[in-house]
Amino acid sequence: MRITRIGSLVDGFTVQSSLKNPLRDSNVDCSGVHEKCRLMTRISAVSTQKPQILAIIGQGYVGLPLAMAAVDAGWTVVGVDNFASKVAQISGGVSPVEDVSDAQLKAALSSGSYKATTEISDIANASVIAICVPTPVDDKREPDLGLLRSAAFGIAPFIANETLVISESTSYPGTLRNVIVPTINSAKPTTSPKIYFASAPERVNPGDPVWNQRNTPRLVGAIDSESQSRAIAFYESICDAVVSVSTPEVAEAAKLLENTFRLINIALVLEFNQICSTAGIDVHEVIDAASTKPYGYMPFRPGVGVGGHCIPVDPLYLTWWARQHGGRAELVESADSVSHKMPRYVAQRAIDLVPSSSVNPKVLILGVAYKPGVSDVRESPVSELRDHLLSLGANVAWHDPLVQTWEDSKSVDLDWQCDVAVLAVKQPGMNFQQLTARGVEILDCTNTMKGCAGVTPL
């Protein structure tokens, strides 16, 4: 494993700078010049024969932040997305994701460094193509590579010779080598005999105020040495630290491990929360106490369950991959089962707070996004929570200041009359006094209302 550093330390590794400062002995402050020269050096290292244009397939939570980071690094970016409405929104300077501000997007558009389009043929002049499309699971909860295959097949006829194709989409080991490479090679022009391929699974945490495209280390694994060199040069132009691994399969497997680790630890604390609640022990005090150990422990907090585009999905790619090799990831399967049972537990806890005189309990869910500060509702555990509440005979409504519509329904005001409220996700702009002032009991699944009157902790 090799790590190149551009500006920041990566803990736990011996880091070697890949750059030299030719003006280090000068008394002139040329930091801005140095940065521009550094970026141009890295960009030109990707390809000396082609225009420095990056095409990104998919302009969502992964693709659009990547586009803005590349623009900041000096790339000209073409963002491709199938949804015409999203492209129109982006082209109008309105960002569909929280990690890209409208001001940042407008600046990129007005400078001519970025454009959004539905025309896949616009990638023809790109020296780098990054695939950033979702990789969900199907109805059997197995990998669904439909969008990834479609993206690879769609770009193939327009790929110029010596283009670098990078997959940032999360998938099981072997996806780049056995799915993307043959798909593109089977449909590419005869005038493009040499295409370079690499895997660099995305590491996006929507709404994170600290970690972003620049300061999050990136894993890069490619199918050959030249592909690896070009991919490393590309990411060095936009990232502080690039981690070179031996194969794309290592990069792909590492991404699955990262999020499976999180699922298992979250499932542990979800189960532990139920045990502590039954015993009358404050689970958060226990977690805080355990967190005083300076080694060998990492705190996780309980909630309604797991949600988002990674944690509920990526471990299922791992369990499927294990079965393809004749094994089983039993611990992962158990963690997945525990996490899916949590919304039912939360629903029952909420119903238990309803006065016995209420025949048709009315329950208000507060927050339906999968985490605070975002409008993303993908794989939100609140969906299962609502279903379980309905199965228990409840009349259910929801409120989320950041979500306009959710599963064919709209957010209600906080003055909606209810018997109990479930704080699933604490979003900015929620005025809980509107509920507590009229005596509505709140089941707090977020540990953000500790000690407040009329609030029961999960």
Do 160 and 289 lie in one domain? The reply is no
User: In this predicted structure, what is the pLDDT of residue 355?
Assistant: 87
In terms of pLDDT, which residue wins out, 32 or 458? Answer: 458
Considering 193, 226, 246, which residue would you say is the last residue of a domain?
246
Residue 345 in domain:
yes
Do 91 and 151 lie in one domain? The reply is yes
pLDDT band at 357 (very low <50, low <70, confident <90, very high): confident
In this model, does residue 20 exceed pLDDT 90? no
Q: What is the mean pLDDT of residues 281-289?
A: 97
Helix or strand run (H / E) with residue 180: none
Active site residue: 132, 310, 418, 445, which one?
310
Do 327 and 393 lie in one domain? The reply is yes
User: In this predicted structure, what is the pLDDT of residue 358?
Assistant: 84
CA distance 351 to 390: 11
Do 234 and 289 lie in one domain? The reply is no
Do 72 and 210 lie in one domain? The reply is yes
pLDDT by residue (tens digit) across 366-377?
999 999 999 999
Do 268 and 184 lie in one domain? The reply is no
Q: What is the mean pLDDT of residues 230-239?
A: 97
pLDDT by residue (tens digit) across 166-196?
999 999 999 999 999 999 999 999 999 999 9
Considering 246, 273, 299, which residue would you say is the last residue of a domain?
246
Do 274 and 125 lie in one domain? The reply is no
Do 374 and 327 lie in one domain? The reply is yes
Domain residues for 152? Answer: 2-246
Do 240 and 280 lie in one domain? The reply is no
User: In this predicted structure, what is the pLDDT of residue 309?
Assistant: 87
Do 88 and 215 lie in one domain? The reply is yes
Q: Produce one character per residue of 18-48: b if its CB has 16 or more CB atoms within 10 Å, e if not.
A: beeeeeeeeeeeeeeeeeeebbeebbeebbe
Residue 253 in domain:
no
pLDDT by residue (tens digit) across 328-352?
999 999 999 999 999 999 999 999 9
pLDDT band at 323 (very low <50, low <70, confident <90, very high): very high
Question: How much of the chain, in percent, has pLDDT values that exceed 90?
Answer: 85
Do 311 and 338 lie in one domain? The reply is yes
pLDDT band at 25 (very low <50, low <70, confident <90, very high): very low
Residue 267 in domain:
yes
- Asked if 155 contacts 57 with a C-beta cutoff of 8 angstroms, the reply is yes
Instruction: For residue 95, give the nearest of 111, 78, 116 by alpha carbon.
Output: 116
User: In this predicted structure, what is the pLDDT of residue 43?
Assistant: 61
In this model, does residue 458 exceed pLDDT 90? yes
Q: What is the mean pLDDT of residues 288-316?
A: 96
User: In this predicted structure, what is the pLDDT of residue 41?
Assistant: 55
pLDDT band at 8 (very low <50, low <70, confident <90, very high): very low
User: In this predicted structure, what is the pLDDT of residue 381?
Assistant: 97
User: In this predicted structure, what is the pLDDT of residue 15?
Assistant: 36
User: In this predicted structure, what is the pLDDT of residue 13?
Assistant: 34
Burial of 380 (0-12, 13-18, 19+ CB in 10 A): buried
Q: What is the mean pLDDT of residues 4-26?
A: 37
Mean pLDDT rounded to a whole number for the chain:
91
Strands, E, within 138-186: which ranges? Answer: 164-167
User: In this predicted structure, what is the pLDDT of residue 36?
Assistant: 53
In this model, does residue 118 exceed pLDDT 90? yes
CA distances from 457 to 9, 393, 395, 446 (A): 40, 23, 22, 8
Residue 252 in domain:
no
Do 237 and 296 lie in one domain? The reply is no
Report the DSSP pairing between strands 241-244 and 16-17. Answer: unpaired
In this model, does residue 16 exceed pLDDT 80? no
Residue 251 in domain:
no
In terms of pLDDT, which residue wins out, 48 or 116? Answer: 116
pLDDT by residue (tens digit) across 400-423?
999 999 999 999 999 999 999 999
In this model, does residue 261 exceed pLDDT 90? yes
pLDDT by residue (tens digit) across 44-75?
667 666 679 999 999 999 999 999 999 999 99
CA distance 423 to 455: 10
Helix or strand run (H / E) with residue 406: strand 405-406
Considering 217, 246, 275, which residue would you say is the last residue of a domain?
246
User: In this predicted structure, what is the pLDDT of residue 11?
Assistant: 36
In this model, does residue 5 exceed pLDDT 80? no
User: In this predicted structure, what is the pLDDT of residue 7?
Assistant: 40
Which CATH number fits the domain that encloses residue 77?
3.40.50.720
User: In this predicted structure, what is the pLDDT of residue 70?
Assistant: 97
User: In this predicted structure, what is the pLDDT of residue 46?
Assistant: 77
- Asked if 413 contacts 293 with a C-beta cutoff of 8 angstroms, the reply is no
Domain count, the chain: 2
Active site (annotated) includes residue 310: yes
